[in-house]
Structure 1
Amino acid sequence: MAKHWYVLHTYSGYENKVMNDLEHRVEAYGLQDAVVDVQAPGEMVTEVKKRGEKDVTSTKEVKFYPGYVLVRMELDDNTWSVVRNTPGVTGFLGVNGKPSPLRREEFNKMMRRSGGKTDAAAVKRVTTDVEVGQSIHVLSGPLADFDGIVSEVNAESGKIKVMLTIFGRETPVELTLDQISVKD
C-alpha cells in the first residue's frame, strides 16, 4: 500500500505534544512501517526587547501551520484508529469525514514555505545591534548598494528607517534588518 501525507487537525499549541504522543503510540502498536513520518513545521524565533537599560532575550517556537500536524502513512482502519484516537487530535482534514491525502504539489509548497526543514531551525528575527546615527549599506531589494544613515529603529518589528540619498535628495526608506549591514 502507498504512503501519503495527511493533515491532522489538533488543538492549537499542542502540535509538539501530539507529535510525541503519536510517535509513542505508533511504536507501542508496532506500526513503524505504516506511519513513517510526523511533522509540524516551524521555526525558532528569538526576540530581543529593551527593558530599561537591559536587553531581554526570549526564544519561542512558531509553527507555520498552528493547529495542524502532517503525517506520512499508509491509511487503513488500524492506522486511522491509532492516529485518530491520539490525545489532542481532533480529526483528519478531508471530505465527509474521509481523510484526503495531500497532493505532491501541496506538500512541496508547504515544505518550501518552511525552507524544506523538517524540524524547528533557529532563526534570529530581531536584533538590536543597529543604532540611530549609524551608517549602513543596503544588501538586497530595489535599493541594493545604496548607503544611508539610520534615523529610527523599531526592534520589535525588526525594521529600521534609513535616510538614503536618491537623485540628490534625502529620502526616508523603511527596511528590514536582514536587508542591511552596518558599516564600520
Structure 2
Amino acid sequence: MWYVIHTMSGLEQKCMQQCQEYIDPSVYHELFIPQYKTKKHFKKEWHEVSKPLFPGYLFVDTDEIEPIMNGLRQFRQYTKLLKDGDIISPVKKEEQDFLALMMDKDHIVQYSEGFLIGEEVYITTGPLQKLKGCIKSVDRHRRIAKMEIPVFGRQTPVEVGLGTIARVSEEELKRMVADIIEHQKDEETIDANQIEVLSGTFQGVRGTFLYADPDKDEWTAKVPFMNTMVKVTFHREEIRMLM
C-alpha cells in the first residue's frame, strides 16, 4: 500500500535520504518521489529535466505503517504522514491505479508531445494521450500542461511536461493533411517499415513505423506534419503496414 509523507517543498530528496537512514528497509517495499519529465531552455538548447510531480511529498510502499511512523520521529526534518481526517490511511486503490496510468515503473511521468487544434489539445505521444480530459491549460512557452487529477481525496492540481509544436485551426489542419496525402500520391516507391493511417486526424497519411508495445496496444510511427516528422502513437487498428 502507498502512504504519503509530507515534507517541505524542495526538501523531498533530503527527506527521502533521512527516511532511508532512520527507517529499517525491511519494513517497506519502496520509497519514491513521483516525478515528471519536462524540457528547460538553457545554454541555447532545450534540455530534459526532472521535477517533483507533487512538491513536498514522497511516497512509501509498505504493509506496516507503525514502523514508518516510529522512524519519522527520529529525525528533525519536518514530516508528517498524510491523513484522511484523523486517520493515517493509504492512497486509495482507484487513485493508485490512476497514477499508474500517468507514471512508468520508475514513478516518472514521461514527456508528452502534441499540438493544439484551436483550443483543443491533440496528444501525439506520451502518457497524456490517455488523460487529456484532465488538462486544464497549456503553457507552450514553458512546455507544461496544467492538470487536475483525482488524488489525495480531491481534484489536485499538477504540472507535467507537454511540448506542443503548433496551434492550428481545424480548417488549416484539414488542408495540411490533404496536402500531405496529395504529395505522397506522387511518390513512386514505398520505403521499408512504412505504414498508412486508417482513421483519426492523420487518416490517409503514410509514415514510418518505429516501435510497438503490444501489451499497451501502442504502435508508434513518424508522420509528416508542419514541415517536419512527428512521432505519433496509434492503436493497432488505426494503422496498416505497407511492407
Q: What's the TM-score, normalizing by structure 2?
A: 0.45
Aligned to 2:13, the other structure's residue is in SS state helix
The percentage of aligned residue pairs carrying the same residue is: 20
How far off its partner does 1:22 sit? 1.0
Aligned to 1:101, the other structure's residue is in SS state coil
Q: Which among 40, 50, 74 is matched to residue 47 of structure 1? A: 40
How far off its partner does 1:35 sit? 1.9
Q: Which amino acid aligns with 2:34?
A: P
Residue pairs, 1:122-137, within 5 angstroms:
123=111
Aligned to 2:14, the other structure's residue is in SS state helix
How far off its partner does 1:85 sit? 4.1
Aligned to 2:26, the other structure's residue is in SS state coil
Structure with greater contact order relative to length (CA < 8 Å, sep ≥ 6): 1
Calculate the aligned-residue CA RMSD, in Å. 3.8
Match of 1:38 in 2: 31
* CA offsets 1:95-147 (integer angstroms, 9 cap, x no match): 45541112222222123222x3325477487xxxxxxxxxxxx9959xxxxxx
How far off its partner does 1:89 sit? 4.0
Q: Which among 56, 65, 68 is matched to residue 75 of structure 1? A: 65
Residue pairs, 1:106-117, within 5 angstroms:
106-114=95-103, 116-117=104-105
Q: What's the TM-score, normalizing by structure 1?
A: 0.57
Aligned to 1:107, the other structure's residue is in SS state helix
Q: Which among 4, 13, 18 is matched to residue 15 of structure 2? A: 18
Unmatched segments (≥5 aa) in structure 2: 114-121, 126-139, 144-162, 177-221, 230-243
Match of 1:6 in 2: 3
Aligned to 2:19, the other structure's residue is in SS state helix
Q: Which among 85, 89, 96 is matched to residue 100 of structure 1? A: 89
Match of 1:146 in 2: none
Looking at structure 1, the residues matched to 124 and 97 of structure 2 have their Cα atoms a distance apart, in angstroms, of: 26
Residue pairs, 1:154-165, within 5 angstroms:
156-157=142-143, 158-159=163-164, 160-162=166-168, 164=172
Checking the alignment, whether the CA contact within 8 Å between 2:72 and 2:79 is kept in structure 1 is: no
How far off its partner does 1:155 sit? 5.5
Checking the alignment, whether the CA contact within 8 Å between 2:27 and 2:68 is kept in structure 1 is: yes
Q: Identify if the C-alpha distance between structure 1 residues 103 and 48 changes in structure 2 by more than 3 Å, giving closer, same or farther.
A: same
How far off its partner does 1:161 sit? 3.6
Match of 2:203 in 1: none
Aligned to 1:88, the other structure's residue is in SS state coil
More helix by share: 2
Match of 2:180 in 1: none
How far off its partner does 1:48 sit? 2.9
Shifted more, 157-166 versus 12-21: the winner is: 157-166
Looking at structure 1, the residues matched to 21 and 223 of structure 2 have their Cα atoms a distance apart, in angstroms, of: 43
